[in-house]
Amino acid sequence: MSSPIDHPTAPAEVEDTTIVRGRPTPGWERYLGWIYLVILILATGFLIWYPSTATAYAVSLALIVLMTISLASSWNFLSGFGGYTSFGHAGFFGIGSYTGALLLHYEKVSWIPAVIIAGLGAGMLALVIGYPVLRLRGPYFAIAMLAFSELCRVLITAWESVTLGGHGVYLPIVRFQREEDGATAWDRFGIQLHNNQNYYAMLVLAIIAVSIAYAIGTSRFGLELLAIRDDEVAAQSMGIQTTRVKITAFGLSAIFPATAGAIYARQVGYIDPPTVFLVIWSIRSIATAILGGQGTILGPIIGAIVLTLVSERVWEINPNLYQVIFGGLIVLVVLFMPGGLIFLLQKRGILPRSRRL
């Protein structure tokens, strides 16, 4: 497999006798955890402050970047680390959108619980279907998840009495408050929070997704997933409880597209089955993760920024050619950058070959 191999603690004398390609791990690699923490705090601070100066368009674009980070990071949990190529993100995204939208449409709960219920509900569903579906391997699993997404779309469309079928669901409008109404700076911040609540929700989701990716990437659980990716039978014979590990990763990875879907539904104000169950939601997650680096922590972040900005630019230039260019880009990435940006930088010796990237 063309994946970054981990040699973080290889002693010096071992490096002389074994073939270790690339440069030795630089000293600052040891402090990577702290470096991440500082970057995370700075980035979070910047992103909290960002809507106060940016235009509404820029904020919505940032929201899409954050959403793509959640989608790609969570796809990585099972598929990047564990090697089970899933096309199920579109299904979970759609289910989450519909759960959130319908809870709000029928005025059952307010929006924050609705979003959380959407996410946890999809996670539970994944635990249930994970047991039978994760017995399938390779192409069988990929096709099964593709069928799962499509089946969800058809069933939601057909179950008209509850889901309103093909007519789609309109969500209640979020009323904006005028910023001048705030007496103190604190009040104005509260109004900013209110006016950009979807953006902030997406920010929280992205931070959780990346944190979990870091936790998986640096833990024993992540190693177990990598072992399953490389050779499942061998992993099992080494005492790894493969079924439990796979189902846990699957459940975790389903929560994020569903939550993102619920927030997205609120952001766009109207959803219908063809748009939220589109296979492109799976492809977006996969392409982002591949572009950045499959099974890495930073990959999805880099991939999300690059991919979202590029596709936005393409959309601006000519919306009709969007599909042509997007399809062409995917082909180019697969042919020329199969390991993703992170792996490319590691091969050049710019980034250390660490599992913590």
Partner 1 sequence: MDVLQVILSGLLLGGVYALFAAGLNMIFGVMRVINLAHGELMMLGAYITFFLFSQAGVNPLLSIPLSAVALLVLGVLLQFTLVERVVNQPLLSSLLLTFGLSTLMMGIALNLWTSNFRSVAWSPLTGSWDVAGLAVSKSRLVAFAIALLVTGATWLFLKKSIFGKAIRATSQHAEVAQICGIDVRRVRLATFGLGSAMAAISGSLIAMIFTISPEMGRMFIGKAFAIIVLGGLGSFAGTFVGALLLGTSETLAAYYTDTQLAEAVAYAVLLLVLLIRPSGLFGRAE
Residues contributing to the site for partner 1 (CB under 8 A): 1, 79, 83, 85, 132-133, 136, 138-140, 142-144, 146-148, 150-151, 154-155, 157-158, 279, 283, 286-287, 290, 294, 320-331, 333-335, 338
User: Cβ of residue 124: shortest distance to partner 1, in angstroms?
Assistant: 19
Q: Using H for helix, E for strand and C for coil, what is the string for 51-103?
A: HHCCCHHHHHHHHHHHHHHHHHHHHHHHHHHHCCCCCCHHHHHHHHHHHHHHH
Pick 83 or 100: Cβ nearer partner 1 = 83
User: Cβ of residue 125: shortest distance to partner 1, in angstroms?
Assistant: 14
Nearest of 165, 156, 150 to residue 278 by alpha carbon:
150
Pick 14 or 155: Cβ nearer partner 1 = 155
User: Cβ of residue 332: shortest distance to partner 1, in angstroms?
Assistant: 8
Instruction: Judge contact between 290 and 76, C-beta under 8 A.
Output: no
Pick 91 or 123: Cβ nearer partner 1 = 91
User: Cβ of residue 242: shortest distance to partner 1, in angstroms?
Assistant: 17
Give 86's contacts (C-beta < 8 A, 6+ positions apart).
75, 78, 79, 141, 142, 145, 250, 253, 282
CA–CA gap between residue 342 and residue 302 (Å, rounded): 9
User: Cβ of residue 290: shortest distance to partner 1, in angstroms?
Assistant: 7
Pick 87 or 214: Cβ nearer partner 1 = 87
Pick 157 or 196: Cβ nearer partner 1 = 157
Q: Take residue 218 and report the two structure tokens written for it.
A: 């640096």
